[in-house]
Every structure is written in structure tokens, then in C-alpha cells.
Amino acid sequence: AQSVTQLGSHVSVSEGALVLLRCNYSSSVPPYLFWYVQYPNQGLQLLLKYTTGATLVKGINGFEAEFKKSETSFHLTKPSAHMSDAAEYFCAVSFSSGSARQLTFGSGTQLTVLP
């Protein structure tokens, strides 16, 4: 069975500071990994995804994530936070085989950016 753990349901950073949102997964087969962002009163949007190949993945709005197999992690980072980054972020995992139902979301991390 696969699962996703997001460490920290709430993270606060100052504007201009590093953003680090943590995601660990468990999967018995090679995973596909995703980060989605949800702005207030909106649906989720894809930030970035890892499928195969390069382990450092760049997404929209200056975010990136690194797949570390040895640590079973896929942490999301951004060098300098902006006020517009305030949102809820979800990590998700699926794998190359299986049905459409097998996309598992983490519980989410609410990011607050302080002026």
C-alpha cells in the first residue's frame, strides 16, 4: 500500500525567506510524485511532478522538488517566498501501474507568508 506524509500542517515563513515543505512517501514500487497547490477558494493546480529521469524537478512560480529515493522524500522548496505563495500545498503519490483510483494525497500543508 502507498501512503504520503506531510510533516507540518502549518508552516510560516517571512517574505524573502526559504520555503521548505516536507513530504515523505511509502510505495512498494517506483513512485510518481506530485505537488499540487490550492489557493483560497480555488481547486488544486499542479505545481510539479516527478515521473522518471532527473531527480530535481522544477515547477511553476519558482518552486522545485527533489526526489530522494534513499530517504523516500520529495520535499518542495523555493529560495525566496513571496506573499502570493500563501496557499495550501498537497503532496501526492501514484505509481506506474494500477488503476485510476490509486492516487494518494497527503493531508496538506498550509503556508503562511509574513510581511
Binding site for another protein (CB under 8 A): 4, 9, 32, 34, 36, 41-46, 49, 51, 90, 94-103, 105-108
Cα 18 to Cα 21, 39, 67, 96, 112, distances in angstroms: 10, 19, 19, 32, 12
Q: How many CA atoms, within 13 angstroms, populate the side-chain half-sphere of residue 24?
A: 6
Helix (H, G, I), strand (E, B) or coil at 112: strand
The nearest distance, CB 78 to another protein, in angstroms, is: 20
* Smallest distance from another protein to CB 15, Å: 26
CB 105 → another protein: shortest distance, Å?
4
